[in-house]
C-alpha cells in the first residue's frame, strides 16, 4: 500500500507512504514546492480514491484467499485441525501424568474425559458450520465504461462482501484453535490436594485478557444486595436492603447514600441526565439525582413488588410487577402512560424487542413477545421448568435466557425454537451477562467467572475471583464488575 502512486494537484506523483508520514494537515507540496496541500483532500481526489479502493480490494482479496485456503484445509480434515490445536495441552497432560500416575489416576481420567468431550463437541459443531459456510468469493468484473463514482460504489460493495466473508471464515478458523487456549496449570507437588498437585485444565484465550483491577470492601450486608448498576466511569450504584449506595471503585469508598424506600430495593435503572430509577419490594418506583442524592419523583402505580425496570428506546421507563402488570412511564413527570394486564401470570423480567414489541419472562416459565401498544401475544417460547431471571437479545434472531431450572438456553425466537441448552449446573447458573461480541459471561458460587462461546458450547476463559459471586454486570467499557459473598465489589478489566 505504501508504494501506491498518488496524483498531486500540481500534476506530479508521490506515494501513499510518503503522504501517510506527513504529520501536518496542510503543507507545501514536496514536488513542486509551490502549491499547499491538504493531505485528506489529496487522498479524496476521485482518481486517488479509486486507486486506494482498488489497492484495498487487492490486499483484502489476498487475505481472503489465504482464509479460503485455510478453510479448504479444515474442510478436508476438520478433526485433524481441531486435534492439532489440542496437541500441546494433551502433551503437557501426558508428561504430568507420568509423575503422578499412581496417586492421581482418577483425576487424570476426569480431565481427559472433559477435554475429549469438548473436542468432540467442537468437531461436531464445526462440521455443522462447514456445511453452512458461505460460497467461495469471486471478484466481480467492473464495467470499464462506468464512471468513477459507479466504479467506487461497485468496489465498496465488493469490499463489504469480502469483509463479511472474511469474518465468517475467521470464525470458522478460530473454532479449530480453541484447544490452543487450553493449558495445564499446576502447583508444587508436595500439596495433597490432587487437583492442585496434578494440575487442572483452564482456558486462557488472549482475546479475553481480564485482570482484577479494583477491589472495594463495601461493609454492607451481602445477603441484602439485590442489584447493581453502572453510574459513570468507575462509579457504581448498589441496592443494599432499603438503601442505595454510590461507590467509587478507584477511590475505594462510598460517595453517597440514597434513602427513601421502605422495603428492599430490587432493581436500578440508569437514565439520561445524571439520574436513575429504583424499584422496590414496596411496589414503589423512585427517580433520583446522582449529583445531589435527592429523590426527584415517586411513582405509586404498582400494587405489588417491582420485579424489573428497563429504559426503552422511545425514552419510556418500563416496569413489571408482582401485581401482574407491565407499565410504561414518563419518568420526567411520573405519569403512567400505559398498562398491560397479564391476567393470570406476572412477569419476572422484561426486555425491549424489535418492531414495537416487549419481551417478558412469565411466572409460568414461558417467554412472550407482545405488541407493546395492544398487549397482543405474537410469539411464545416454552422450555424452561423454573423461573427465568435473565434475558438478553444476542442479535436480531437469537435470545439467551437463564433460569433457576439450572439451564441457560439460546432461542431462535422468530421460529420459536430452542437451538441450544447449557446444562450440567449443580446450582442455578448464577449471574449472567453477554458481551458485545456475543460471548456469554457466567458467575458462579465456586468463585469463578467463565466466558463461553455460546455456539460451540465451550468456555474460552476462566477468571478466578475465589469468592462466591452474587451479582455480575458489565460497564460501558465491558469491564466485569461483581459483588461477592464477602460483600466485596470487584472489577476485572482487559489488560
- Residue 135: what pLDDT? 59
Which residue, 435, 469, 464, 475, is CA-closest to 207? 435
Residue 432 has pLDDT above 80, yes or no: yes
Average pLDDT over residues 389-416: 88
> What is the 3-class SS of 180-239, one letter each residue?
HHEEEECCCCCCCCHHHHHCEEEEECHHHCEEEEEEEECCCCHHHEEEEEEEECCEEEEE
Alpha carbons 404 and 159: distance in angstroms, whole number? 46
Q: Angle at Cα 385 formed by Cα 383 and Cα 390, nearest 5°? A: 80
**What one-character-per-residue DSSP string does 107-125 give?**
HHHHHHHHHHHHHHHHHHH
- The residue ranking higher by pLDDT, 425 or 407, is 407
For 211-215, 261-265, 353-357, which range has the lowest pLDDT when averaged over its residues? 211-215
Cβ atoms 264, 250 nearer than 8 A: no
Enumerate the domain spans of the chain.
5-40, 47-184, 203-494
247, 238 contact by CB (below 8 A): yes
Q: Is the dihedral of CA 190, 195, 201, 205 positive or negative?
A: negative
Residue 126 contacts residue 169 (beta carbons within 8 Å): no
- State the pTM of this model: 0.64
User: Is the CATH number of domain 203-494 2.130.10.10?
Assistant: yes
pLDDT at residue 370, as a whole number: 94
More confidently predicted of 292 and 168: 292
Residue % of the chain over a pLDDT of 90? 29
Which residues are paired to 412 by β-bridges? 398, 417
User: E strands along 218-372, which residues?
Assistant: 225-232, 235-240, 243-248, 253-258, 265-271, 275-280, 285-289, 295-299, 306-311, 317-321, 325-330, 335-341, 347-352, 357-362, 367-371
Residues 6+ apart with CB under 8 A from 346: 304, 307, 320, 321, 322, 323, 324, 325, 362, 363
Render 40-94 in DSSP notation, one character per residue.
HHHHTSHHHHHHHHHHHHHHHHHHHHHHHHHHHHHHH-HHHHHHHHHHHHHHHHH
- What distance in Å separates the CA atoms of residue 480 and residue 293, rounded to the nearest whole number? 26
Q: Summarize the confidence of residues 210-237 as an average pLDDT.
A: 80
* pLDDT exceeds cutoff 60 at 323: yes
**pLDDT mean across residues, the chain:** 84
Q: What is the DSSP string of 422-464?
A: E---SS---SEEE-TTS-EEEE-TTSEEEEEETTTTEEEEEEE
Average pLDDT of the segment spanning 158-179: 83
Q: CB within 8 A of 34, min separation 6: which ones?
A: 10, 28
| Contact by Cβ (8 Å): 83, 126 | no
Neighbouring-strand partners of residue 325: 341
Banded model confidence at residue 146, pLDDT cuts 50, 70, 90: confident
Across 6-15, 111-120, 184-193, 206-215, which has the greatest mean pLDDT?
A: 111-120
Query: Stretch 288-296: mean pLDDT, rounded?
Result: 93
443 within 8 A of 434, measured Cβ to Cβ: no
pLDDT tops 60 at residue 23: no
pLDDT tens by residue, 64-110: 999 999 899 999 999 999 899 899 888 888 887 787 777 767 877 88
Among 274, 301, 309, 302, CA closest to 288: 274
CA distances from 253 to 38, 234, 257 (A): 50, 11, 12
What cell was used for 196?
492442585
pLDDT computed for residue 133 by the predictor: 60
Amino acid at each position: 500500500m505504501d508504494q501506491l502512486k498518488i496524483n498531486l494537484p500540481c500534476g506530479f506523483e508521490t506515494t501513499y507512504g510518503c503522504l501517510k508520514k506527513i504529520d501536518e494537515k496542510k503543507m507545501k507540496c514536496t514536488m513542486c514546492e509551490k502549491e499547499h496541500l491538504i493531505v485528506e483532500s489529496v487522498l479524496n481526489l476521485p482518481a486517488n480514491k479509486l486507486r486506494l479502493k482498488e489497492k484495498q480490494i487487492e490486499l483484502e482479496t489476498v487475505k481472503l484467499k489465504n482464509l479460503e485456503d485455510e478453510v479448504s484445509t479444515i474442510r478436508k480434515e476438520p478433526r485433524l485441525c481441531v486435534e492439532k490445536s489440542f496437541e500441546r495441552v494433551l502433551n503437557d497432560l501426558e508428561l504430568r501424568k507420568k509423575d503422578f500416575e499412581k496417586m492421581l489416576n482418577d483425576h487424570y481420567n476426569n480431565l481427559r474425559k472433559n477435554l475429549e468431550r469438548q473436542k468432540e463437541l467442537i468437531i461436531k459443531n464445526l462440521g455443522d458450520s462447514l456445511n453452512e459456510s458461505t460460497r467461495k468469493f469471486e471478484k466481480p468484473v467492473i464495467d470499464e465504461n462506468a464512471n468513477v463514482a459507479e466504479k467506487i460504489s461497485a468496489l465498496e460493495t465488493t469490499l463489504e462482501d469480502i469483509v463479511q466473508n472474511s469474518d465468517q471464515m475467521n470464525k470458522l478458523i478460530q473454532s479449530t484453535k480453541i484447544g490452543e487456549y487450553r493449558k495445564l496449570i499446576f502447583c508444587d507437588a508436595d500439596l495433597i490436594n490432587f487437583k492442585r498437585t496434578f494440575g487442572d485444565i483452564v482456558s486462557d484465550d488472549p482475546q479475553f485478557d481480564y485482570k482484577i483491577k479494583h477491589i472495594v470492601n463495601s461493609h454492607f450486608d451481602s445477603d441484602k444486595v439485590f442489584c447493581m448498576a453502572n453510574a459513570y466511569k468507575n462509579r457504581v450504584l448498589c441496592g443494599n436492603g432499603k438503601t442505595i449506595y454510590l461507590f467509587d471503585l478507584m477511590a475505594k469508598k462510598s460517595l453517597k447514600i440514597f434513602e427513601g424506600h421502605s422495603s428492599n430495593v430490587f432493581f436500578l435503572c440508569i437514565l439520561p441526565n445524571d439520574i436513575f430509577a429504583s424499584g422496590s419490594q414496596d411496589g414503589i418506583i423512585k427517580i433520583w439525582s446522582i449529583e445531589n442524592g435527592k429523590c426527584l419523583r415517586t411513582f405509586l402505580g404498582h400494587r405489588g413488588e417491582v420485579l424489573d425496570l428497563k429504559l426503552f428506546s422511545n425514552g419510556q421507563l418500563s416496569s413489571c410487577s408482582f401485581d401482574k402488570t407491565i407499565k410504561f412511564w414518563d419518568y420526567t413527570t411520573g405519569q403512567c402512560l400505559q398498562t398491560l394486564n397479564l391476567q393470570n401470570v406476572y412477569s419476572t423480567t422484561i426486555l425491549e424487542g424489535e418492531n414495537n414489541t416487549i419481551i417478558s419472562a412469565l411466572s409460568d416459565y414461558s417467554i412472550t413477545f407482545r405488541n407493546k401498544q395492544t398487549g397482543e401475544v405474537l410469539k411464545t417460547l416454552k422450555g424452561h421448568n423454573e423461573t427465568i431471571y435473565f434475558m438478553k437479545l444476542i442479535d436480531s434472531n437469537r435470545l439467551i435466557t437463564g433460569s433457576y431450572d439450572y439451564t441457560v438456553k439460546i432461542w431462535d425466537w422468530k421460529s420459536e425454537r430452542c437451538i441450544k441448552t447449557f446444562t450440567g449446573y449443580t446450582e442455578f447458573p448464577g449471574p449472567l451477562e453477554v458481551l458485545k461480541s456475543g460471548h456469554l459471561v457466567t458467575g458462579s458460587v465456586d468463585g469463578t467467572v467463565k466466558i463461553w462461546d455460546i455456539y460451540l458450547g465451550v468456555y474460552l476463559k476462566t477468571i478466578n475471583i475465589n469468592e462466591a459471586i452474587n451479582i455480575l454486570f458489565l460497564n460501558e467499557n465491558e469491564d466485569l464488575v461483581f459483588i461477592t459473598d464477602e460483600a466485596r465489589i470487584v472489577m476485572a478489566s482487559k489488560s
